[in-house]
Amino acid sequence: MGLMNREYRKYIEEEIAGKSLDKSQKPEDIKGRLFGFVVFAVLVFSVLLGRLWFMQVMQGESYQKQADSNRRRIIPIDAPRGYIYDRNHKVLVSNRPGLAISVMPTIAQVNKGVIDRLAVLTGMTTKEINDKLSATNADPLKPRVIKRDVDKKIVAYISEHQADFPGVDLTVETIREYPLGNLSAHVVGYLGEISNDELKAKKSDGYDMGDVVGKTGVEKAYEWALRGTKGSQQVEVNAAGRPLRVLKNITPNPGHDLILTIDIGIQEAAEKALANGIAEAKAGRFKKANAGAVVVMDPTNGEVVALASYPTYDPNLFLGGISSKNWETLTNPSSGYPLNDRAIMAAYPSGSTFKVITGIGALADGLTTASRTINCTGTWTGFGAEWAKSCWLKSGHGNVDFISAVAQSCDSYFYQLGYEFEKKGGERLQYWARVFGIGKQTGIDLPSEATGRVPDKKWKKEFNKDFPEYQTWVPGDTVNMAIGQGDLLLTPLQLAMDYSAVANGGTIYKPHTVRSVVNSDGKVVYDNKPVVTQKLPVSQEAIATMKEGLKQVVANGTAAGLFSGFPMPVAGKTGTAEVQGKDDFAWFAGYAPADNPKYVAVCVIEQGGHGGSAAGPVVRSVLAKALNVQEQGMVKAEDASR
């Protein structure tokens, strides 16, 4: 650069000594230039202050809000769900505390490795976790629950290694507990995370993604009562999402408790007897017997005392979210669909149990009387000899009046009644089926109830719309329907409701499983009073006649011997429904004591064979338990009727 020559040094020395007139070497306009510096500096400071005034004074409140939403997090606190008790206040479902892992998506996704570590720890795949975190239908700035009811070891690990898990929180929530295991699983139902559709429908009720709701049973039907009101905790969090202190606390209101109409003792007996009955049928000639249902009702008010469905399932599997493997096992076709409550969701052909409806209808319509006799030769030839139909007793019942026709389940007698219904016209038999509530839901307080089916002209045409040759209703259809064969379908609950109406003298009550809803102070907030759906439009005499017939079934009819040794008279009816391609479905519907009915019990066993031999003993066991009758195991009974 050549700046270090001697001349330069000399010049510097002169300046230091103050000898040079260096001041004159400044540019002429130096004052102006330095004034330019001042102007520039003032401009800079003005711009900055202007910007600050705009941000801090004019827009300050909006930034203030953003700062608050940065640091405040509202953590919802789930309300403890209400307990569920049986009619005697025995606990069926309670709660226990459980820990859930929730993750703040924005934080965990930014910090590498957090999700991988969580995957290793929880045994989930990173994809499963990421799917939960990136679900688009929830607020991206809210934490998501990725696993519930987590093992204590995992919880301990996360608490000890908080630094490795930014954005990961552990929250306490209440988990359902079933002190009696899977008893009454179908009535109680199970819980699960709210689905997208449910969320859409219930958003206005304060539900959020990840909430746990009742999916079946009374857990679903009484969700409104059980859930309670969520509380919340407003906490201050740091940038890593870790809560530092509580700013505000709103305690949750616990859900209401349910008092069921179920008597857990009778329920247990029903479930055991049903399982035994199916096992017995299987051990005998009916290898395909694998499913069934039992309904026990109080005929005086519509209360369901027991409701069993086989096969059953363990509601514990649903705690903390059911694994996909377990779900697959429970819904696989080979599983026998244990989640389905066959007592209300399955519509079965009724077999001869329907003769009660045919009979009462015929008496009411004046087609027959208690004393009218018909000669059963084993064959009924009302349509001519070439269209002869046979009674289940090939040798014939001889001369039978109405009561013994019911007692013996004589098909010839009921063929004749069906024939007379057909001649009368106006689909009167269908009318009576509908009067008894078949073809529509009973209105029980449980979800997913089936309606059953009353076949008629219109239905047949519609049902066979691709098969024109089967579209016409023929008289034989009515005749078949009269003995309970053919296309009529009903649920075990509908049958129990109908037999209750017979037992109580003609009143159809709406069945229900919850007696009352009680708040945490023990006050009843909702009471299920008996609701009359229908007063049967029949005379007391007609019902009394039918009741006598049902009593005779047990005394000396198709179920003779079934209740031998039982300390009180029992009334009932066997049924054996023929199903194409399958073994017969066994039915028994009855009530006891016959003269002052306290309990109605209905049992169906799919492909279990004859009603009196397969389903009858189950009903006997259940009625014995309900009425405190000491029994030595299940009876064996013979029945060849249908």
Which residues lie near another protein (CB under 8 A)? 1, 3-4, 8-9, 12, 15-16, 18, 20-23, 25-31, 33-34, 36-38, 40-42, 44-45, 47-49, 51-53, 55-57, 59-64, 66-68, 70-71, 106, 110, 236-240, 244
Q: C-beta of 51: minimal distance to another protein in Å?
A: 5
Pairing of strands 599-606, 348-349: unpaired
Give the residue with the Cβ less far from another protein, 12 or 531.
12
Distance from C-alpha of 157 to C-alpha of 101, rounded to nearest angstrom: 12
The answer to whether the CB of 147 falls within 8 A of the CB of 101 is yes
Q: C-beta of 13: minimal distance to another protein in Å?
A: 9
Peptide bond into 97 cis (omega under 30): no
**Residues in the chain, how many?**
642
DSSP state string for 259-279: EES--HHHHHHHHHHHHHHHH
Give the residue with the Cβ less far from another protein, 72 or 582.
72
Q: What is the largest CA-CA distance in the chain?
A: 154
Element (H, E) at 77: strand 72-77
Q: C-beta of 109: minimal distance to another protein in Å?
A: 9
Q: How far is CA 588 from the centre of its chain?
A: 26
The question of whether 159 is a catalytic residue gets the answer no
The answer to whether the CB of 512 falls within 8 A of the CB of 307 is no
Q: How far is CA 216 from the centre of its chain?
A: 1
Element (H, E) at 197: helix 196-202
Q: C-beta of 19: minimal distance to another protein in Å?
A: 9
DSSP state string for 445-501: SSSS----B---HHHHHHHTTT-GGG-S--HHHHHHHHTT-SS-EE-HHHHHHHHHH
Question: Could you tell me the two tokens for 328?
Answer: 């697959």
The answer to whether the CB of 353 falls within 8 A of the CB of 587 is yes
Q: C-beta of 8: minimal distance to another protein in Å?
A: 7
Give the residue with the Cβ less far from another protein, 26 or 440.
26
Give the residue with the Cβ less far from another protein, 240 or 629.
240
Distance from C-alpha of 165 to C-alpha of 107, rounded to nearest angstrom: 10
Three-state SS for 13? helix
Q: C-beta of 32: minimal distance to another protein in Å?
A: 10
Q: C-beta of 293: minimal distance to another protein in Å?
A: 55
Q: C-beta of 135: minimal distance to another protein in Å?
A: 18
Pairing of strands 257-260, 243-250: unpaired
Pairing of strands 514-518, 257-260: antiparallel
Q: C-beta of 34: minimal distance to another protein in Å?
A: 5
Pairing of strands 303-310, 291-298: antiparallel
The answer to whether the CB of 499 falls within 8 A of the CB of 438 is no
Give the residue with the Cβ less far from another protein, 71 or 535.
71
Beta-bridge mates of residue 294: 308, 603
Give the residue with the Cβ less far from another protein, 120 or 244.
244
Distance from C-alpha of 493 to C-alpha of 342, rounded to nearest angstrom: 9
Give the residue with the Cβ less far from another protein, 138 or 579.
138
Residue in the block written with tokens 């066997």? 574
Q: What is the DSSP letter of 79?
A: P
Task: Give rounded-to-5 percent helix, strand, coil for the chain.
Answer: 40, 20, 40
Give the residue with the Cβ less far from another protein, 58 or 385.
58
Give the residue with the Cβ less far from another protein, 73 or 573.
73
Give the residue with the Cβ less far from another protein, 53 or 387.
53
User: Which residue, 451, 198, 500, is CA-closest to 345?
Assistant: 451
Give the residue with the Cβ less far from another protein, 45 or 470.
45
Beta-bridge mates of residue 508: 534
Question: Could you tell me the two tokens for 411?
Answer: 């098909």
Q: C-beta of 41: minimal distance to another protein in Å?
A: 5
The edge-to-edge listing of strands for the beta sheet with 599-606 is: 303-310, 291-298, 599-606, 585-592, 571-577
Residues with Cβ within 8 Å of residue 414, at least 6 apart in sequence: 355, 358, 359, 405, 482, 483
Point out the catalytic residue in the list 350, 352, 409, 500: 352
User: Which residue, 391, 606, 601, is CA-closest to 479?
Assistant: 391
The answer to whether the CB of 621 falls within 8 A of the CB of 273 is yes
Q: C-beta of 304: minimal distance to another protein in Å?
A: 54
Q: Which residues are designated catalytic?
A: 352
